[in-house]
Chain A
Amino acid sequence: MMAPRSPGWPIALLVCLALAFGARVARAESAAIVEQHGQWEMSYGAVYYRVFGYVENKSSKPIRYVKLQLDLVDANGKAVYSTVGYNQKAEALGTVEGEGAETLKKAPPAEMMKKIEPIKPGEKDLFRIGVSKDDIPKKPKFKTYQLKIVEVK
């Protein structure tokens, strides 16, 4: 027979969620976007919209990666396309370009993490998040972009 649930379980659940959210926010604050710029680029005949910039480790401990979310937003501020990316040193975790990328992607997560050079306290690292023009909706057209840090580890 199942024991009746304590009436306090919704409160406990809310406390857990609040703690988890708080921890996530606190981690995100340990890194900051210190420079950013979006522009159109052409590479090998294909057109991309790329956002470049720097993230900085604002904490006193090394950071393995900074995960960023890029939203292309229309004139009403509504996201028409979203994607995520990582700082350059941790690019292997996301969309990887270049030699050795496939090897890194096949490695187990723990093994892959070891290959990532951490961002030292106070150090900056480049990031670049690109979206192929083919993937961007034609309507509504995006007017600008929004970038935020979604995870820091």
Chain B
Amino acid sequence: MTRIGKSVIGLALMCLLGAAVIPSGARAADKVNINTASEQELMKLPDVNEARAKGIVGYRKSNGEFIQVDELELIPQVKPIYNKIKDLVVVE
């Protein structure tokens, strides 16, 4: 095998290892869609207890589906933990 070929394989292995080891945040597929998630699904998010999950579902019922994730800041129970969950949720 040529030197360049070995380097390419080595680089590819490093990338694969990096992707597996380094936490790169939630991927879109792993994120919770706050427009469709149930209270139980929302409670899987960090620091989201029953009251906070109810707050999200209640907001959705009163004001229609979320247009942007930022709207979570309008929910008093959720505002204190907004920065913890904003990258783990999505609006679809």
A86 at the interface (CB under 8 A from B): no
Q: Which of A39, A42, A133 contacts B67 (CB 8 A)?
A: A133
Which of chain B's residues have a CB closer than 8 A to the CB of A142? Answer: 67-68
Judged by a CB distance under 8 angstroms, whether A138 is at the interface is yes
Asked if B91 and A40 make an inter-chain contact with CB atoms under 8 angstroms apart, the answer reads no
Contact A47 B91 (CB under 8 A): no
Out of B67, B70, B71, B74, name the residue touching A138 (CB < 8 Å).
Answer: B67
* A40/B64 in contact, CB under 8 A: no
- Give chain A residues whose Cβ lies under 8 Å from the Cβ of B91: 141
B84 to chain A, nearest CB (A): 18
Instruction: Indicate whether B2 reaches chain A with its CB closer than 8 angstroms.
Output: no
Please tell me if A73 contacts chain B, counting CB pairs below 8 Å: no
Question: Are the C-beta atoms of A47 and B68 separated by less than 8 Å?
Answer: no
A68 to B89, CA, bound (A): 33
A23-43 vs B, Cβ < 8 Å mask (1 yes, 0 no):
000000000000000011110
Q: Is A112 interfacial (CB 8 A cutoff)? A: no
Q: Beta-carbon contacts of B66-81 to A below 8 Å, as 1s and 0s?
A: 0110110110000000
| B50 in contact (CB, < 8 A) | no
Across the A-B interface, the 10 shortest Cβ-Cβ residue pairs: A40-B71, A42-B74, A47-B63, A141-B67, A40-B70, A40-B74, A136-B67, A138-B65, A133-B63, A141-B91
A-B contact pairs, 10 of them (CB 8 A): A40-B74, A41-B74, A47-B74, A133-B64, A133-B67, A134-B64, A136-B67, A141-B67, A142-B68, A143-B68
Binding site for B on A (CB under 8 A): 39-42, 47, 49, 133-134, 136, 138, 141-143
